[in-house]
Amino acid sequence: MKLSKDSGHLFRFLGLFVIAFLIFLVVRHFVVPKSFGEYGHYRGAAIDEIAALPVKFAGHQTCEACHSDIADTKNGGKHAHVNCEACHGALADHASDPASVIPMLPDTTVLCARCHTASAAKPAGFPQVKIDEHSGGLPCKTCHNPHTPVIGSDKASGAVLGAKTAGGTK
């Protein structure tokens, strides 16, 4: 194949192009993270990094492994669907080191009121009371066992803690 006598500059240009492409590949090799494109147009290793973040709420399964007695009481009562840490707070630290991390006992005056304060905005079927009229400022656990809140339902301890007070709407 006879090329024109001036074709040399084309090959020099081609050479330049190839060198630039190689430089691009070398730079790309060092700049683009290894896992980029593993699953899509992103760094695949980011998924595992996010998955490796520490857990703060241990989950009720973890609590129930040790506190099965309380779990049995709770799961037999009206609060069966309320998980432990919804009231007791994040306790993964306690689960991994029960001896040195001692959870605080929640203040039932504040805690119960968060859900059970009467408001017309709440679903009508949800048990709610006007706190002041209902208890007159006494902590809820004076009469109710928070693990099984219906008075008289705490069969395990056998204690009917107090007489039913007036003012409850439910």
Which residues of this chain interact with other proteins, rule CB under 8 A? 15, 18, 21-22, 25-26, 29, 34-44, 46-57, 59-61, 79, 81-83, 85-86, 89-90, 114-115, 117-123, 126
For residues 70 and 80, the answer to whether their CB atoms sit within 8 Å is no
Nearer to other proteins, 19 or 160 (CB): 19
Nearer to other proteins, 56 or 160 (CB): 56
The nearer residue to other proteins, 44 or 139, going by C-beta atoms, is 44
Residue closer to other proteins, measured from CB, 71 or 118? 118
Question: Least distance to other proteins from the beta carbon of 115, Å?
Answer: 5
The nearer residue to other proteins, 36 or 72, going by C-beta atoms, is: 36
Under a CB-based contact definition with an 8 Å cutoff, are residues 108 and 139 in contact?
yes
Q: Contact at 8 Å (CB) between 134 and 142? A: no
Residue 145: partners with Cβ closer than 8 Å, 6 or more residues away: 73, 153, 154, 157, 159, 161
Scored b (16 or more CB within 10 A) or e, 31-68 reads: eeeeebeeeeeebeeeeeeeeeeeeebbebebbbeeee
Smallest distance, Å, CB 28 to other proteins?
8
- In sign, the C-alpha dihedral spanning 141, 147, 148, 154 is negative
Minimum CB separation from other proteins for residue 103, in Å? 14
Work out how close the CB of 19 gets to other proteins at its nearest, in angstroms, rounded to a whole number: 8
Shortest distance (Å) from residue 158 CB to other proteins? 27
3-state DSSP helix/strand/coil % of the chain, to nearest 5: 45, 5, 55
